[in-house]
Amino acid sequence: MAGHRAALTRFAWLSIAASIVIICLKGAAYWVTGSVGLLSDALESVVNLVAACVVLIVLTVAARPADEDHPYGHDKAEYFSSGVEGGMIFIAALGIVAAAVERLVHPRPLEQLGLGVSISLVASIINFAVARVLMAASRQHDSITLEADARHLMTDVWTSIGVLIGVGAVVFTGWLWLDPVIAILVALNITWTAVSLVQRSVLGLMDTALPEDELDVIRGALDPHLAEGIQYHALRTRRSGARRFVSMHLLVPGAWTVERGHDLAEEIEAYIRERLRNTTITVHLEPLEDPRSWADATLDPVQTPHVGKKGGA
């Protein structure tokens, strides 16, 4: 698992290389045109570069194997990447607004727009291609870090499209104020992305339960056995980076042998693992007839999708 996660750093290096190229291209586009809209686009690409460096560090940490101090591994480090990236996007948005307001107060004509737009368009195509590669990798490897980076790059693509539309509108109308106004709209758009990334990071660090569709998979492994008199409770779930954790109490007839109960637990675990990758499952077997099996059904406030009554189905 650790070696598999370490291989993901190649995608971080791809993002870093692409960001350096794009910064140069967009910086050149701003230099030849003087467009504050293109400047805002270039500033966001600087954030992309720093974020890609953070991604590299975080993926390296997350790939470390479990040890005595971190027996559950280091996967949760991935949430720091999306949180830092969200914060940096917000800072970039403030810089864009400041530059746009200054240009609103002191407007200036734009120059060599054809060349500047062409350069920016090439940069956007590179961004789009890299974002697609990172998103595919994030889905294949269940990496929230790569997903955050991919979404950020796609935001950059849409930002560039908005800026290019704004610059084109200035050319056709002659209204110089459109350029800084578009830049401010870009800042508002990327701020929303920042909030989304930080929110997801916080939810992961707070050990939020798995989403409803994944909980349905777990229930799908358990509910068919209810007709056999089996019960379950104290179902707890959480996610740590790419890894999911599931624990539950499985109540079986006391007359069952240990082997029969173990076989059922193995069957349930296999069903879940087949449908939810990278899942660690802990099943605690208990006898249905023992009152103590029911006393711990509500220990601590936890999610309990199904809590049966003694003797009931």
Give, rounded to a whole angstrom, the gap between the first and last alpha carbons of the chain. 39
Whether 302 shows a pLDDT value over 50: the answer reads no
> Where does the chain hold its CATH 3.30.70.1350 domain(s)?
212-295
* Residue in this structure with the two tokens 């103590």, named with its chain if needed: 292
Least confident stretch, 167-181, 197-211, 247-261, 295-309: 295-309
Q: How many Cβ atoms from other residues are within 10 Å of residue 222's Cβ?
A: 19
Whether 272 shows a pLDDT value over 80: the answer reads yes
pLDDT at res. 308: 45
Q: What is the mean pLDDT of residues 193-208?
A: 77
- C-alpha to C-alpha distances, 97 to 32, 60, 136, 189, nearest whole angstrom: 21, 34, 33, 12
Q: Which residue has the higher pLDDT, 221 or 306?
A: 221
Q: What is the mean pLDDT of residues 74-87?
A: 74
Which secondary structure element, helix H or strand E, spans residue 279, and what is its range? strand 279-287
Q: Which residue has the higher pLDDT, 230 or 117?
A: 230
- Residue 122 has phi, psi (to 5 degrees) of -60, -45
Query: HSE on the CB side for 36, CA within 13 Å?
Result: 28
Whether 186 shows a pLDDT value over 80: the answer reads no
pLDDT, tens digit, 9 for 90 and up, residues 208-255: 788 899 999 999 999 999 988 899 998 999 887 777 899 999 999 999
> Where does the chain hold its CATH 1.20.1510.10 domain(s)?
2-205
Q: How far apart are CA 91 and CA 44, in angstroms?
A: 10
The CATH number of the structural domain formed by 2-205 is 1.20.1510.10
Whether 266 shows a pLDDT value over 90: the answer reads yes
Q: What is the mean pLDDT of residues 55-63?
A: 78
pLDDT at res. 298: 59
Q: How far apart are CA 99 and CA 92, in angstroms?
A: 11
Please report the DSSP string for 110-173 in residue order: ---HHHHHHHHHHHHHHHHHHHHHHHHHHHHHT-HHHHHHHHHHHHHHHHHHHHHHHHHHHHHH
Report field, pTM of the whole predicted structure over 0.75: no
The CATH number of the structural domain formed by 212-295 is 3.30.70.1350
pLDDT at res. 300: 52
On whether the CB atoms of residues 241 and 75 are closer than 8 A, the answer is: yes
On whether the CB atoms of residues 147 and 138 are closer than 8 A, the answer is: yes
pLDDT, tens digit, 9 for 90 and up, residues 130-163: 999 998 988 888 777 788 778 778 877 877 777 7
pLDDT at res. 246: 93
